[in-house]
Structure 1
Amino acid sequence: MHGTIPTSGTPRQPRRVPLVLRLALRELRGGLSGFAVFLACIALGVAAISGVASISRSLSDGLGREGQRILGGDLAYNLINREATEAERAALTREGRLDTVALLRAMATAPGGDAALVELKAVDPATYPAAGDLVTDPAEPLANLLAPRDGVPGALADPALLTRLDVKVGDRIALAGHDVRLRGTIRTEPDKIAGGIGFGPRLLVSDATLRATGLVQPGSLNRWSYRLILPAGADLDAAQARIKAATPEAGWEVRARTNADPRFAKSIERFTQFLTLVGLTALIVGGVGVANAVHAFVERKRPSIATLKSVGAPGSQVVALYLTQVMLIAALGTAIGLAVGASLPFVLDALFSADLPLPLNPTLAPGELALAAGYGLLTAFAFAITPLGRAHDVPVSGLFRDTVDPARVSPRLRYRLWLVAALALLVALSVVTAFDRRVALIFIAAAGIAFGLLHGVALGLMALARRLPHPRRPAPRMALANLHRPGALTPAIVLSLGLGVTLLVTLSLIDANVRRTISASLPARAPNLFFLDIPSREAARFRAFLGEAAPTGKIEEVPMMRGRIAALKGVPAARIRPPEDAAWVLDGDRGITYADALPEGSTLTDGRWWNAEEGREPLVSFEAELARQLGLKVGDAITVNVLGRDLTARIFNLRRVEWRNLGINFVMVFSPGTFRGAPHSDLATLTLPGGTDAAAENRILRGVAKDFPAVSAVRVKDALDAVGDLVGRLVLAIRGASAVAVLASLFVLAGAIAAGHRARLYDAVVLKVLGASRARLLAAYAVEYAALGLVTALFGLIAGSLAGWVIVGSVMKLDFRLDLSGALAAAAAAVLFAVLLGLAGTWRILGQKPAPYLRQF
């Protein structure tokens, strides 16, 4: 037998690092020169994605950790328009310590007659808050602050109410005709998030004060929340099951500390997805910078590649060597981005913890960070493999003479398949991890179309430049040639600048249309005032009052109750999984009404309206689009819980509703016989001729507060201001995230210009030897960059306008108006920036002496 058999005493050889990795690490010892843009693009995109994901995770963890405080207890049982019965309260009290909170809207009136809508909250001072801390100024026990003194009960107010009514702590204000004294202000309210968005400042009173005002009456709009603190170690699910068994007909809306505010949590997930897609846009835009940087890297390494191939290195090993280098650098950029993104929640908590309205629990999110790293590395691989793959089959002679005779080689099929695989993985990651997969697919399709169109624009511009007649003057002639010559910057600049301008124009149009809708379009046709909780026994007197106060105004009045959908076609609402766009209909209570005739602003799409005889039966008219999403049709049964009773009605017709005029309308309109004899209040609107009239509105508000203290009035302008403030904050967050994508575009643009450095240097040296002046060369480059900027700006205006039209009209369901004032400014700035950046990149080239470079070419 030949050979030797190793024995146990033979030392094992150390494992050698693979040759490709050793060579890659050795070449990287020379530094990362030329990879600044590459690192910046990868780090910026990964930082955006990981930062958004980390903050979202921290918010979700904060909501989970602070669930008891946000909810006000371990369990919250909510009722609309009625209080719990003694039996229902007893069932709750058996499980733990009970805290009762009443929430409703009311009018507060200052001594001078000024009135303001308040979000009234009535609590038991002995038990509130059951969880968390109420911070007041002055810091006294709540019972002392709310207790009557000299026959006048106390109240605590949001500081905004003091400003709105021009009062101070110690003053009296009237609440439904009953005086309360402002004893202090609310600095921190532990369960504020669970209350949702309010249209007025908070006013906190005792439950005894609320009852003395007479605001709680049959049919009035109020919400009763019964918060339970369970004994230590108690089982949440078991407690819920016992309460449900004891109160089967109560019609509770139940929340647990583990899911204190599911609507808010869903909103966080939706907004996180949007910002993540914006971050992914930045990363994909940065991918163009990666491709440019890798292309420039291959250009610099041609002598090394030629040497390796001339000594026998196969093309696949050459590609593997430089791909390893590129991915090591991408890993470094990814690590930088992850470090920045992971630190963002901790930075926010350290700097703004006292000002944040939401509970933030800074934490490292390994899953989210791993996802962001996957995005970064896949993007780097996808955009690097094609430029590197072209070196596989270029002959050695072609590599050496590439400066004067560039080789045109397409990458092999294997590299194109790797590219397809990387892009497929990126798409899969985006879709699988998305909160709304439809939105993710739309984004991917839009990104693909944008890349394809921009590539087509670049090729079309190059083809046009080849066919145009050559100008006589040298500068335009050279500029025209630069647009289509081999190695031209046209594709890279058109792609990077075009994406940036498109994004800027889209955001500008969305911002302009949303703000126009809120501040201009809606108030012009919407009612001036909404009146809530009009007692049905006083409806005629109230209508007469409005007729005298505004004889030329338009008055609409309908009965209104609150109800919650309990079942659809016999299936309990808790078991239905509706589409995201329709989930809100089943989540919580809805305003409902009954009517003899089709409401104004509605159009029947299926069926007909009931007649007087048919209206005696329990029938319902349902909004058509929501019915489609919920799978409902004429004849189906709907069960609603109103005042603790389940009532089933049959869908008699479907109708389309024009919501944007802010008139009175409802998802569900019932036949009059459905709620015959049920207690209710009325809802009314007043529309003044000529639009907003602050003086007339204030006069009417003061009259309502004086003569109808139980009626709550909402000024449409105040409601729109509240919505506008919320939209403004969202737009600010969108702008911040989009700025990352725009910044990536600028990096890519700078990288594209840097990538063309070698070719520009060669041109400049040759032309200077032939007698071209620096001014003439600068003029040629200025014309070239201006032409590229103008073409991409025009594309950005068209593509951004189309994208804005689709988003505003189809997604936001708003009227779209082409307002290009901000968009034109963004496009002009992009053209100017392209010219200035291009000239700045060539200035240093034009100052070089020709002799040293002539020896290299």
Structure 2
Amino acid sequence: MIPLSVRFAARELRSGVRGFRIFLACLALGVAAIAAAGSTAEAFRQGLASQAREILGGDVAVSVQLRRFTPEERRVLEGMGRVSWAVGSRAMAQSASGERRLVELRGVAGDYPLAGKVTLAGAPSLDAALRPEAGAWGAAVEQALLDRLHLKLGDRFDAGNVPIVARAVLKEEPDRLSRGFALGPRVLTRMGALEQGGFLVAGLPFGETARIALKPGVAPKGAMAQIRRELPGRSFRIRDRDDAAPGVKRLIDQLEYFLGFIGLASLVAGGLGVFGAVSAYLEARKPAIATLKALGAQGALIRDAYLVQIAVLAALGVAIGLVVGAVAPLALGALVKDKLPVPALFAIYPLPLAKAAAFGLLSAAAFSLAPLARARATPPASLFRSDLSGRVRFGPEIIAAGLAAAGLAALAVVTAPTPLAAGIMIAGVAAAFTVLWALGWAAARLAGRMRAGARGAVRIGLANLAGPRSAARTASPAIGLGVGLLACVVLIQSSLLAEVSDVAPRTAPALVFTDIPAERAAELDAVVARAFGRPLSRETWLRAPFFTGRIVKVRGAPVDPKALPERERWAYDNDISMSAIGPEPPNPQITAGRWWPAGYAGPPLAAVDEDVARGAALKVGDAITVQVLGVEIEARVAALRKVEFGSFGASFPVVFTPSAVAGADLHQVAIAKADRAAEARVVHALAGPFPEVNVISVREQLEAATDLFNRVALAVRGAAAVAALAGLLVLAGAIAARARERTREAAILKVLGASRAQILFAYVLEYGLVGAIAGAAGVALGYVAAWPVVVKVFQAHWSVDWAGVAALLGAAAGLAGAGGLVAAFQALSQRPAPALRAE
């Protein structure tokens, strides 16, 4: 009842998997990488989903910026269920000793928190921690603020001009993730503290959020629709539990795909190992195949017998990879679960494992069927002559291999966050593989020509490199792809790190000052100049009015944000930062039109960022209408400019002439360049006369960004190293596949008088050249892939980590050369006579 092919396969499998160790390792490595990336991402998704209500702080959250909710809006929201109110702003916290630090000040009211629990240390409850007493507001503060201001619980400090007592250490807030990045330590207090301090005045940068626990039976989607119906045309942001932390969710999706794609690239790189392992195994089974064919076995029987074996071993390799990929996140969760900034539920999730298994099985099919086609189509006479190198004929095996390759690409596209990104990555890997294969072929041809002028061990090494089974053809594409992925990651990381640690400190301001009263601006200039110890100049100091508004009309017609491209509507469906400047600021980067004269007093003009202009096809001379604090201002576009946000300059998407906002009482912002000592002096100098002015240290934010990026980059580098490891496995497979030939070759060379040193040198030269060629090609491909990501996507300065590049090149050549030593010692381990008689 059992098919003959299955019986033959079972008998051969009894001998074990000795010839398929590289096959198993290559498959298991790629599958484990994909499974681990998917399982870890799913753990974070499930963690977010399980705590979505706590992360949002309720069932629905409604937020407004730069204003409070109106009485009508409060009435509608309170009619939906229980409501908690929260306002957020920034303030300078100052201790009695004069230490100052920017903090994220948050005031709450109503039934806060509606969902989840505020975790505190040092106070029995949130009400006890926030209770006003003796003219000071109670607060829960992060430990970082206590450390920075040298405070202990029970001590007082001022937030702006509001006295506050630190009564508890703030450990966790249920809705912290939904609020995003913070510029300073968090301070949680009552809403009355911010009202008393004047933080909630129109025009200042604050926001208010209402979180709603809906009445029983009311669905969040229905509640959101009802709020929009009852409050039409209002500028607010509304979210439900499904959108509790959109930025975090998007980051998890993108990181999963990037790490999973590296795992897929490892599978592709290891595909050559699969191909080589299957070819070597069939090479060793030539006598059995020839005998079966001579006895009348059809090609289909031969194919099926070995196809069953390969399928069983492929399933074993995939299973090993799945086990490793499933266990690795569980181990990670046990080690760092309490330190993760995002909730995670580490468990075994079937879907990521199924996806990884599909990738592994498709990869095995794509790379193992061609050798089977060759074995099926080769006649018995050729097999008895030890000839298994004939051309592969078009047949069912090749069709199946092509379908498997297409399935790999399709699965990568379907599971990607964006099909376009997947298509670009797949095309890039395919092109890189093609280039690396062509370079390996060209290197073999070049070695064949160069050996004519070489002598001794060099000639032997070049001859081996030019041979029909040269490692330049089999291993260099896989090694090059692994090195290319590592080089791409290293070059992107080095450029972005240079951006935040070197370029940004030189081009960005060191300090940002906000909430400067317009009537005291000149006084603040004088205080800052004294603290700096030098007069202020346009090269180190820039102050300007600050307000926000929204472009509501273009060329006299109302703007419909939904009609604009999604990526270019940000300036039309949200309030954006604006200013009013007379003289042309430093480095205006005008791309069309020109700046107005310093004393211009005519109709309002505007300088618009070219990205904003692109969204509505604005040109110089067009009219725009901007709504600012309920008032519409019409201006003509005088200039288009390229705004580099974060650089030292007028980094506002829209800048007006001062006449456009004449008479308005606008707060101002300022930026300054300074060293660390000057930073500390100016922060202390502003404590007495300007407690309400916030000072943001850009240097501190850059250092925090560098630390975060380093931690993320370490994980990405580790994933990219998996692809490089796959290349080394392919090299090991190439060495193992030619072990018998190498032994016979070394025996012949010794009989002809070659010394051990010459044989060792020949093999090290051969494999070292393979590593050097593959490493150089991989670094070049990594450069080509990294440059557009750095310059076009991140819009950062290109910076090459030459030490990292040199290390990659040296490692590729060194490890390949070490493989040559292993091959040489293995070949030299037998005496010549037994080796020559073995055939």
TM normalised by structure 2 equals 0.92
2:339 maps to 355
Secondary structure of 2:338's counterpart equals: coil
In the alignment, which residue of structure 2 is the partner of 1:664? Answer: 650
Which of 96, 113, 128 is the aligned partner of 2:98? Answer: 113
Tell me the secondary structure at the aligned position of residue 251 of structure 1. Answer: coil
Structure 2 portions without partners, runs of 5+: none
> 2:501 aligned with 1:485, yes or no?
no
For the residue of structure 2 that corresponds to 1:543, the secondary structure is: helix
Report the counterpart of residue 157 of structure 1 in structure 2: 141
Is the 2:24–2:317 contact (alpha carbons within 8 Å) kept by the matching residues of 1?
yes
Contact 1:220–1:535, Cα closer than 8 Å, also in 2: no
Aligned residues: 832
- Distance in 2, Cα, partners of 1:594 & 1:155: 38
Q: Structure 1 residues 638 and 111 mapped into 2: Cα distance closer, same or farther (>3 Å)?
A: same
Match among 788, 795, 804 for residue 806 of structure 1 = 788
CA–CA distance in structure 2, aligned partners of residues 643 and 564 of structure 1: 10
Partner of residue 108, structure 2: 123
- Cα distance, 1:587 vs. partner? 7.9
Higher mean displacement: 790-799 or 728-737? 790-799
Q: 1:630 to 1:331 in 2, by over 3 A?
A: farther
Alpha-carbon offset, residue 642 of structure 1: 5.2
Q: Does 1:85 align with 2:70?
A: yes
The match for 1:721 among 697, 703, 706 is 703
In structure 1, distance between residues paired with 2:635 and 2:303: 70
Partner deviation per Cα, 1:245-294 (whole Å, 9 max, x = no partner):
33324311111112112233222222222222222111111112111211
In structure 2, what residue type is equivalent to 1:760?
R
- Aligned position for 2:83: 98
**Structure 2 residue aligned with 1:237, among 221, 238, 262?**
221
**For the Cα contact (< 8 Å) 1:315–1:392, is it kept in 2?**
yes
Check the 8 A contact 2:482/2:721 in 1, yes or no. Answer: no
When structure 1 is superposed on structure 2, of 563-572 and 769-778 the one drifting more is 563-572
Identify if the C-alpha distance between structure 1 residues 151 and 348 changes in structure 2 by more than 3 Å, giving closer, same or farther: same
- Write out aligned runs for 1:674-693 (5 A): 680-688=666-674, 693=675
* Gap change, CA 1:637 and 1:99, over 3 Å in 2: farther
Write the distance in 2 (CA, Å) between the matches of 1:152 and 1:172: 8
Partner of 1:6: none
Contact 2:263/2:722 (CA < 8 Å) preserved in 1?
Answer: yes
Give the drift of 1:94. 1.0
Question: Which of 380, 394, 404 is the aligned partner of 1:412?
Answer: 394
In 2: Cα distance, 1:774 partner to 1:17 partner: 53
* Map of 1:603 onto structure 2: 589
Q: Residue in 1 aligned with 2:38?
A: 53
Task: Give the AA of the match of 2:57.
Answer: G
The residue correspondences of 1:539-618 to structure 2 (distance < 5 A) are 539-550=521-532, 551-553=534-536, 554-563=540-549, 570=558, 572-573=560-561, 578-579=566-567, 582=568, 589-596=575-582, 600-606=586-592, 616=603
2:243 is matched with 259
Note if contact 1:578-1:630 (Cα within 8 Å) is conserved in structure 2: no
How far, CA to CA, are the matches of 2:614 and 2:743 in structure 1?
64
Return the alpha-carbon distance in structure 2 between the equivalents of residues 181 and 788 of structure 1. Answer: 68
Distance 2:15 2:625 in 1: 74
Does the CA contact (< 8 Å) of 2:266 and 2:482 recur in 1? no
- Between 1:366-375 and 1:633-642, the stretch displaced more is 633-642
Note the 1:36-435 alignment, pairs <5 A: 36-124=21-109, 127-362=111-346, 364-402=348-386, 407-412=389-394, 414-435=396-417
| Residues 781-820 of structure 1 aligned to structure 2 (within 5 Å) | 781-820=763-802
Name the amino acid aligned to 2:97: G
Answer whether contact 2:81 2:214 (CA < 8 A) is retained.
Answer: yes
Q: How far apart, CA to CA, are the structure 2 residues paired with 1:383 and 1:136?
A: 57
User: Structure 1 pair 543/330, CA: closer, same or farther in 2 (3 Å)?
Assistant: same
Q: Is the 8 A contact 1:41 1:747 kept in 2?
A: yes
Q: 1:138 to 1:638 in 2, by over 3 A?
A: farther
CA distance in 1, matches of 2:287, 2:444: 29
| Mapped partners of 1:754, 1:491: distance in 2 | 15
- SS of corresponding position for 2:117: coil
1:12 paired residue number: none
1:441 is matched with which residue? 423
Distance 1:244 1:793, change over 3 A: closer
Mapped contact 1:251–1:645 kept (Cα < 8 A): no
On the 8 A contact 1:475/1:780 being kept in 2, the answer is yes
Percent sequence identity over aligned pairs: 38
Residue type at the aligned position of 1:252: F
For residues 458-498 of structure 1, give each alpha carbon's deviation from its aligned partner in whole angstroms, at most 9, with x where no partner exists.
11111112112446753222212111123222212322322
Given the two structures, how large is their TM-score scaled by the length of structure 1?
0.90
Partners in 2 of 1:438 and 1:794 — Cα distance?
Answer: 29
> Secondary structure of the equivalent of 1:657?
coil
Tell me the secondary structure at the aligned position of residue 375 of structure 2: coil
- Are the structure 2 counterparts of residues 157 and 193 from structure 1 closer, same or farther at C-alpha, using a change threshold of 3 Å? same
Q: Which moved more, 1:818-827 or 1:95-104?
A: 818-827
What is the Cα deviation at residue 29 of structure 1?
Answer: 2.6
CA distance 1:30–1:565, shift in 2 (3 Å):
farther
Q: C-alpha separation between the residues in 1 aligned to 2:349 and 2:402?
A: 29
Correspondence for 1:705: 687
Q: Does 1:737 align with 2:719?
A: yes
Quickly say closer, same or farther: Cα 1:286–1:171, change in 2 above 3 A.
Answer: same
Q: Aligned-pair RMSD on alpha carbons?
A: 3.0
- Partners of 2:117 and 2:562 in 1: CA distance: 33
The question of whether the paired residues in 1 share the 8 Å contact of 2:648 and 2:671 is answered with no
Shift of 1:851: 4.6
Q: Which residue of 1 aligns with 2:609?
A: 623
Change (3 A) 1:509 1:392: same
Deviations 1:319-377 (A, max 9, x none): 33323322322222222222333344444444333221112134554443333222211
In 2 relative to 1, CA 294–710 (structure 1 residues): closer, same or farther, beyond 3 Å?
same
Aligned to 1:504: 486
Cα deviation, residue 442, structure 1: 2.0
SS in 2 for 1:390: helix
Instruction: Measure how far apart 1:713 and its partner are.
Output: 0.6
Shift of 1:839: 1.4
How many angstroms apart in 1 are the aligned matches of 2:4 and 2:434?
39
Check 1:609–1:320 CA distance in 2 against 1; reply closer, same or farther (3 A cut): farther
1:28 aligns with 2:13: yes
**Amino acid corresponding to residue 195 of structure 2 in structure 1:** R
Code of the aligned partner of 1:129: P
Q: Give the aligned residue type for 1:135.
A: T
How far apart are the structure 2 equivalents of 1:23 and 1:184? 74
Pick from 730, 747, 766: which aligns with 1:748?
A: 730
Q: Distance in 2 between matches of 1:492 and 1:587?
A: 55
**Alpha-carbon spacing, 1:670–1:66, altered in 2? closer, same or farther (3 Å):** farther
For each residue in 1:502-544, what CA deviation from the matched residue of structure 2 results, as whole angstroms up to 9, or x when unmatched?
Answer: 2333222222221111111121232221001112333333233
Q: Which runs of 5+ in 1 are unaligned?
A: 1-15
SS of the residue 1:798 aligns to: helix
